[in-house]
C-alpha cells in the first residue's frame, strides 16, 4: 500500500463503486462498514501509513456514495396512468444519438422536451432519454430517415412501452441494459409520417458530436469505395470503430476465437495513432514538446470519432496522461496511469463498472502491466522477441479467461494461437494500411487504392485463417454460468502463480550470483597458487528441488480443481430439468437428464409474410431466434452437446432456430416426423445436417427409448405408415403430423404434443383408451402438459384433458401475437379442469427441477 498509494486508493474507489452491484440495501452498507474497519485496522497496525489507510477508506466511501446516488436518481419521470405497460404518446425533443437506418427500421435516442400522453389533457415538460423506433412503410422513407441527424428537433407519435425484459433465466435483459444507461421507455412509431422535424437550434454540446457523426459517415462512404470486395464492414470496424456493417457470420467466427477485441478501439489502435501523430510532428519539424501537445490534443478527437467506447476512452485517457508525464520527464509506472484513467471514468459515470467492455479493458491492461515481465522471464526461449510476444498473448488470454467464461461461456482452445498470429499482423500491418488508405484517399482517391489493395489481401488471409481455426468445433470448450466466487478465485490463483514465478526467478538470480562468486573465488585461488579446495568460498545453496516439486504439484492440483469447479461435469449434478423456454410465438423445450444428457425439442422461430418486392426491409443483422437467443442461452447453461434435437414438425415457429443450433453446438441425432415440407428453410436445414454428418431418424408411435436411467421417452404420434423407405413424403400441413412425446424423469411425466390439433388428439385418446381397457393401470395422470398449438381453439380438447388430468399446463405463446393465442375458451377449459396454467408470454420461462427421489420444484422467470 505504501509503494503505490494512488493504485491502492483507486482500487478502493472501484470497490466502493462495485459494492452496490454485488450487494443491495443494508447488505451493501454492512460490507462497506466491514471493509472500512479492515482498512482502519491495517493503518493502526502499521502495515500501511495512517494517511494512506484513511484516504483508502475515504475513496471507498466516496465511490459507494456516488454509485448509490447515481442509482437512486436513475428513475423515470414519465408516469403512465393506471400503471399500464404501454400508452399512446406524442414526444418532442432533440435527437441525441446517430440515427441508424437498417432495413425498415430507423432508430435513435430522443431527449424529450415535452411528453403528451393520449390520456392527459396537455403535454408535460419532461426531460428524459427515450429510444425511438420508427417502422418504415416504404423504401423511399429510408432516405428521409437518413437525413435525420443528432441535434435535430423532432416530434414523433407512437406507442410508449417498457423495453422487453429477459424471458429466460440467464438471458440478455434489454430492459436492464437500457436502465443502466438511464433509458426506461421505448416509443414505437409506424411510418415516416409519425415523425416530423420541427424548428429548433442545435444544442451547443451536440454540435461537435454532430460534426463527428458526419465525419464518420463520410469515412464510411469512403471505405465503401476503397474496399468493394466484401471487407468494407470489417475495415470500418478496425479503423473507425463503425461496427454496424460488419458481416454477422464473419463476426461469429471472430467471436468463436476470441478475436472481437481487434474490432474494438483499444490500446493497440491508440498506440498506432500516437506513433503516427508523433512521426507527423517530427516530419513537420515540431519540437518534442509541441509534437506531444499536438498528440494530446488529438486524442479526444480520435476517441469521439471512433465512437467513444469504454476501451477507447480508457486507452485515450492513458495515452494523454502518459504523454503529459513524458513531456515533464516523469513517466514511470503504467499502473498509476491505469488507476487514474479508471478514477476519471468512474467519477464521470459510476455505472460504467457494470459494462463488460470496461471490465475487460481494465482487467486485461492491469494484467499485462503486472504479469508480462514475470511471464517473459519465465519462458524458456532464447529469442527475446518470441518471449515478449508469447508472454503478452499468454497473459492476455489468462487474465481475460475468467471474465470471458462469466459473460460469454465459451472459450476456443485455438484462441491463443489465433491471437498470437493475427493480432500483431492486423495491428501492425493491416490497420496502418487501412488508416493510410483513408488518409490518402481523402486527399485523392487513387492514392488510397494501393494501401487499400494491400489491406484487402491481408484481410483475405485473415478471414481464411479465422474460418479455418473456427471450424474446429471440437476444440471449443463450453462453461456453464459460473459464480463470482469462481471468478475471484481464478484471479487469486493467478496472483499465487505469479508470486511463485517471481520467487522462482529470484532464486534463479540468487543461484547465478552464488555461481559467479564461487567461480570468482576459484579464480583467486588459482592466482594465489592454492591447491587445496577453498571450502569457505563455496556457496551454501539449499536444495530446493523438493520445494519446487511440491509447489508445482500443489498449483497444478488446485488449478485442476478450479477448472472442474467451472466446468461442472454432468456427474456432479443428478438433478433433471424440463425447461419451457420463452421464444415468443413458438416452441422450444430443453430437457436435462439426471445424468447430464440434453435433449432440445423444437427451436422456436418467427413466421414471416414478406413479398419479393420487400427485400429492402431486410436488416443488416436481423433478429434470428437461434443465433440471438437460443444458442447463447444453451452456452450459458453449459451445454456442450445435444444428445438429440427433436423437431416435432417443420413449421417455421418450431424450426426457425435449428440452423443456428446445429451450426454452433454438436448434435448427435435429429429426430423428426418422417416428412418434409416444401420450404427453402427446411431444405437448408437438412442440407446443413447432412453436411455435418448428423443422422436423422423418423419418430413414430409406439417407439420408446431410454436416454439414461433417469429419462425415457415414449412416442404417441404420428402413427407409423407403410411406405417405401427410400422416399420421404412432402407434407405442407404439418400440425397433424406433430411428434407427440411422453417424457418420464425420475417418475415424473411431461406430455409434449407439439402443434397437434383436435383430430390427432382424438386418435391418441382412442388408442390410449383401448390400451387402458386391456391394462387397467394405464394411462396415469401426468404432471405437466404442454398445451397444443400455443393454446389454439383447435387443440387441447375436453376429451384430451379428461384423459390426462394434468396437474400443470404450460402454454408456449408470444406476447401480443397476431393469432390471439391462447384462445379464451381454451384457458377457461384448462381452469375448469383444475390444472395450474402457466404462459411463457406472462410468466417467461417455466422450469421444472426433478430430483432423484421424485420430488419436483417449479419456478418461473417472471413472478406474479
How do residues 753-778 score in pLDDT, each as one tens digit?
999 999 999 999 988 776 655 555 55
- Output the pLDDT for position 536: 46
**Residue 820: C-alpha distances to residues 735, 753, 830 (Å):** 18, 20, 17
Check residue 701 and report its DSSP letter. B
Please state the length of the chain: 864
Distance CA 721, CA 702 (A): 12
Radius of gyration of the chain (CA): 32
Place of cell 511471464: 375
**Residue 206: C-alpha distances to residues 97, 98, 152, 210, 550 (Å):** 9, 11, 10, 6, 62
User: Which of 161-165, 382-386, 792-796 has the lowest average pLDDT?
Assistant: 382-386
Higher pLDDT, 239 or 847: 847
Distance CA 202, CA 210 (A): 9
Mean pLDDT, residues 661-667 taken together:
94
> Under the phi-then-psi rule, with left for phi > 0, alpha for psi from -120 to 50, and beta for the rest, what region is 14?
alpha
- Output the pLDDT for position 468: 93
Q: pLDDT tier at 537 (50, 70, 90 boundaries)?
A: very low
Distance CA 227, CA 234 (A): 10
Domain definitions of the chain by residue range: 5-73, 81-202, 209-479, 485-567, 571-860
What is the CA 18 to chain-centroid distance, rounded? Answer: 20
Distance CA 166, CA 863 (A): 12
Count the Cβ atoms, other than its own, within 10 Å of residue 193. Answer: 12
Task: State the DSSP string of 291-341.
Answer: HHHHHHHHHHHHHHHTT--HHHHHHHHHHHHHHHHHHTT----HHHHHHHH
pLDDT beyond 80 at 609: no
Distance CA 643, CA 668 (A): 5
Q: Which long-range contacts (CB under 8 A, 24 or more apart) does 828-836 make?
A: 829/796, 829/798, 829/801, 830/787, 830/796, 830/801, 833/801, 833/805, 833/806, 835/785, 835/801, 835/806, 835/807, 835/808, 835/809, 836/807, 836/808, 836/809
pLDDT beyond 80 at 120: no
Q: pLDDT tier at 458 (50, 70, 90 boundaries)?
A: very high
Q: Which of 568, 600, 629, 632 is nearest to 255 (CA)?
A: 632
pTM: 0.89
> 81-202 belongs to which CATH class?
mainly beta
Q: Which of 386, 400, 396 is nearest to 419 (CA)?
A: 396
Q: pLDDT tier at 540 (50, 70, 90 boundaries)?
A: very low
Q: What would the pLDDT profile of 302-333 be if each residue is shown by its tens digit?
A: 888 888 888 888 888 888 888 888 887 776 77
Q: Which residues contact 38 (CB under 8 A, 6 or more apart)?
A: none
pLDDT beyond 80 at 500: yes
Distance CA 521, CA 540 (A): 14
Distance CA 308, CA 298 (A): 14
pLDDT beyond 60 at 552: yes
The overall average pLDDT reported for the chain is 88
Q: pLDDT tier at 535 (50, 70, 90 boundaries)?
A: very low
Task: State the DSSP string of 519-584.
Answer: HHHHHHHHHTT--S--GGGS------HHHHHHHHHHHHHHHHHHHHHHH--GGG---EEEEE---S
User: Which of 379-388, 446-455, 609-618, 657-666 has the lowest average pLDDT?
Assistant: 609-618
Distance CA 341, CA 538 (A): 51
User: Which of 232-236, 422-426, 547-551 has the lowest average pLDDT?
Assistant: 547-551
b/e code 75-112 from CB counts within 10 Å (16+ = b): eeebebeeeeebbebbbbbbbbbbbebbbbbbbbbbbb
Mean pLDDT, residues 106-115 taken together:
95
Identify which of 37-46, 80-89, 322-331, 722-731 has the greatest average pLDDT: 37-46
- Output the pLDDT for position 553: 86
Mean pLDDT, residues 479-502 taken together:
91
Q: pLDDT tier at 482 (50, 70, 90 boundaries)?
A: very high
Q: CA 492, 493, 498, 503: dihedral to nearest 10 degrees?
A: 100
Q: Contact at 8 Å (CB) between 158 and 89?
A: yes
pLDDT beyond 80 at 278: yes
Q: What are phi and psi of 296, to 5 degrees?
A: -60, -40
Distance CA 388, CA 396 (A): 12
529: its cell numbers: 597458487
Burial label for 681, CB within 10 Å (0-12, 13-18, 19+), is middle
Mean pLDDT, residues 201-216 taken together:
90
- Output the pLDDT for position 726: 64
Check residue 676 and report its DSSP letter. B
Q: Is the peptide bond before 188 cis (omega within 30 degrees of 0)?
A: no
Q: Contact at 8 Å (CB) between 186 and 110?
A: no
Distance CA 535, CA 308 (A): 67
Identify which of 184-198, 601-615, 723-737, 760-774 has the greatest average pLDDT: 184-198
794: its cell numbers: 383447435
pLDDT beyond 50 at 541: no
820: its cell numbers: 390471439
Burial label for 178, CB within 10 Å (0-12, 13-18, 19+), is buried
Architecture of domain 571-860: 4-Layer Sandwich (3.60)
Q: pLDDT tier at 850 (50, 70, 90 boundaries)?
A: very high
* Percent of the chain at pLDDT exceeding 90: 57
Beta pairing class for 704-708 and 696-698: unpaired
SS (H, E, C) 221-275: HHHHHHCCCCCHHHHHHHHHCCCCCCCHHHHHHHHHCCCHHHHCCCHHHHHHHHH
Distance CA 620, CA 623 (A): 10
Count the Cβ atoms, other than its own, within 10 Å of residue 309. Answer: 19
Q: What would the pLDDT profile of 506-534 be if each residue is shown by its tens digit?
A: 877 777 776 676 666 777 766 666 554 54
b/e code 838-862 from CB counts within 10 Å (16+ = b): bbbbebbbbbbbbeeeeebebebbb
Amino acid at each position: 500500500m505504501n509503494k503505490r498509494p494512488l493504485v491502492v486508493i483507486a482500487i478502493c474507489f472501484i470497490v466502493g463503486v462495485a459494492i452496490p452491484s454485488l450487494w443491495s440495501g443494508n447488505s451493501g452498507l454492512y460490507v462497506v462498514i466491514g471493509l472500512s474497519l479492515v482498512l482502519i485496522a491495517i493503518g493502526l497496525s502499521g502495515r500501511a501509513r495512517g494517511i494512506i489507510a484513511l484516504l483508502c477508506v475515504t475513496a471507498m466511501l466516496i465511490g459507494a456514495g456516488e454509485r448509490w446516488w447515481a442509482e437512486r436518481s436513475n428513475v423515470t419521470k414519465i408516469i403512465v396512468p393506471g400503471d399500464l405497460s404501454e400508452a399512446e404518446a406524442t414526444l418532442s425533443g432533440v435527437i441525441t444519438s446517430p440515427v441508424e437506418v437498417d432495413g425498415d427500421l430507423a432508430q435513435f435516442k430522443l431527449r424529450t422536451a415535452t411528453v403528451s400522453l393520449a390520456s392527459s389533457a396537455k403535454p408535460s415538460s419532461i426531460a428524459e432519454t427515450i429510444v425511438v423506433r420508427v417502422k418504415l412503410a416504404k423504401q423511399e422513407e429510408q432516405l428521409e430517415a437518413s437525413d435525420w441527424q443528432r441535434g435535430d428537433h423532432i416530434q414523433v407519435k407512437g406507442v410508449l412501452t417498457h423495453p422487453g425484459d429477459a424471458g429466460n433465466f440467464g438471458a440478455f435483459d434489454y430492459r436492464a441494459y437500457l436502465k443502466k444507461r438511464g433509458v426506461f421507455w421505448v416509443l414505437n412509431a409506424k411510418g415516416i409520417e409519425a415523425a416530423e422535424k420541427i424548428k429548433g437550434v442545435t444544442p451547443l454540446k451536440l454540435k461537435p458530436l454532430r460534426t463527428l457523426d458526419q465525419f464518420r459517415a463520410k469515412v464510411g462512404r469512403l471505405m465503401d469505395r476503397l474496399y468493394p470486395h466484401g471487407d468494407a464492414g470489417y475495415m470500418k470496424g478496425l479503423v473507425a470503430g463503425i461496427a454496424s456493417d460488419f458481416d454477422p457470420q464473419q463476426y461469429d467466427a471472430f467471436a468463436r476465437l476470441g478475436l472481437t477485441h481487434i474490432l474494438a478501439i483499444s490500446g493497440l489502435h491508440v498506440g498506432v495513432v500516437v506513433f503516427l501523430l508523433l512521426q507527423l510532428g517530427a516530419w513537420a519539424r515540431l519540437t518534442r514538446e509541441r509534437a506531444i501537445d499536438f498528440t494530446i490534443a488529438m486524442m479526444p478527437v480520435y476517441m469521439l470519432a471512433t465512437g467513444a467506447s469504454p476501451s477507447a476512452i480508457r486507452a485515450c485517457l492513458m495515452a494523454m496522461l502518459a504523454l503529459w508525464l513524458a513531456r515533464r520527464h516523469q513517466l514511470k509506472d503504467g499502473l498509476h496511469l491505469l488507476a487514474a484513467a479508471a478514477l476519471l471514468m468512474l467519477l464521470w459515470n459510476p455505472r460504467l463498472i457494470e459494462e463488460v467492455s470496461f471490465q475487460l479493458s481494465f482487467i486485461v491492461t492491469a494484467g499485462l502491466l503486472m504479469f508480462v515481465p514475470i511471464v517473459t522471464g519465465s519462458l524458456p526461449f532464447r529469442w527475446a522477441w518470441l518471449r515478449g510476444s508469447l508472454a503478452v498473448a499468454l497473459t492476455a488470454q489468462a487474465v481475460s479467461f475468467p471474465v470471458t467464461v462469466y459473460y460469454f461461456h465459451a472459450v476456443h482452445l485455438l484462441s491463443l494461437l489465433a491471437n498470437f498470429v493475427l493480432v500483431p499482423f492486423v495491428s501492425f500491418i493491416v490497420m496502418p494500411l487501412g488508416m493510410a488508405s483513408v488518409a490518402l484517399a481523402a486527399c485523392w482517391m487513387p492514392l488510397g487504392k494501393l494501401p487499400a489493395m494491400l489491406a484487402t489481401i491481408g484481410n483475405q488471409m485473415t478471414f481464411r485463417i479465422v474460418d479455418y481455426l473456427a471450424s474446429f468445433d471440437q476444440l471449443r470448450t463450453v462453461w456453464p454460468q459460473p459464480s463470482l466466487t469462481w471468478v475471484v478465485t481464478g484471479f487469486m490463483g493467478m496472483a499465487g502463480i505469479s508470486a511463485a514465478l517471481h520467487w522462482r526467478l529470484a532464486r534463479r538470480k540468487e543461484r547465478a550470483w552464488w555461481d559467479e562468486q564461487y567461480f570468482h573465488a576459484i579464480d583467486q585461488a588459482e592466482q594465489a597458487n592454492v591447491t587445496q579446495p577453498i571450502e569457505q568460498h563455496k556457496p551454501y545453496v539449499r536444495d530446493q528441488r523438493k520445494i519446487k516439486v511440491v509447489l508445482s504439484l500443489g498449483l497444478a492440483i488446485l488449478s485442476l480443481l478450479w477448472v472442474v469447479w467451472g466446468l461442472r461435469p454432468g456427474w456432479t449434478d443428478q438433478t433433471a430439468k424440463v425447461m419451457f423456454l420463452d421464444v415468443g410465438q413458438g416452441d422450444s423445450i430443453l430437457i436435462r437428464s439426471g445424468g447430464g444428457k440434453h435433449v432440445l425439442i423444437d427451436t422456436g422461430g418467427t413466421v414471416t409474410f414478406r413479398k419479393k418486392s420487400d427485400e429492402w426491409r431486410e436488416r443488416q443483422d436481423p433478429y434470428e431466434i437461434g443465433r440471438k437467443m437460443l444458442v447463447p442461452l444453451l452456452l450459458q447453461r453449459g451445454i456442450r452437446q445435444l444428445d438429440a434435437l427433436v423437431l416435432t414438425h417443420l413449421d417455421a415457429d418450431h424450426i426457425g432456430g435449428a440452423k443456428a443450433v446445429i451450426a454452433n453446438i454438436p448434435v448427435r441425432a435429429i429426430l423428426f416426423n418422417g416428412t418434409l415440407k416444401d420450404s427453402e428453410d427446411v431444405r437448408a436445414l437438412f442440407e446443413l445436417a447432412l453436411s455435418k454428418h448428423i443422422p436423422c431418424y423418423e419418430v413414430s408411435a409406439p417407439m420408446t427409448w431410454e436416454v439414461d436411467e433417469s429419462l425415457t421417452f415414449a412416442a404417441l404420434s404420428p402413427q407409423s405408415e407403410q411406405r417405401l423407405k427410400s422416399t420421404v413424403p412432402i407434407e405442407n400441413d404439418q400440425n397433424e403430423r406433430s411428434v407427440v412425446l411422453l417424457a418420464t424423469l425420475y417418475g415424473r411425466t411431461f406430455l409434449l404434443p407439439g402443434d397437434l390439433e383436435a383430430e390427432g388428439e382424438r386418435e391418441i385418446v382412442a388408442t390410449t383408451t383401448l390400451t387402458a381397457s386391456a391394462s387397467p393401470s394405464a394411462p396415469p395422470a401426468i404432471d405437466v402438459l404442454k398445451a397444443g398449438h400455443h393454446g389454439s381453439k383447435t387443440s387441447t380438447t375436453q376429451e384430451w384433458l379428461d384423459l390426462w388430468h394434468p396437474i400443470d399446463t404450460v402454454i408456449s405463446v408470444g406476447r401480443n401475437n397476431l393469432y390471439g393465442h391462447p384462445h379464451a375458451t381454451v384457458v377457461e377449459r384448462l381452469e375448469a379442469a383444475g390444472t395450474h396454467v402457466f404462459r411463457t408470454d406472462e410468466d417467461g420461462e417455466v422450469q421444472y427441477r426433478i430430483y432423484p427421489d421424485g420430488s419436483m420444484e417449479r419456478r418461473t422467470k417472471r413472478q406474479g
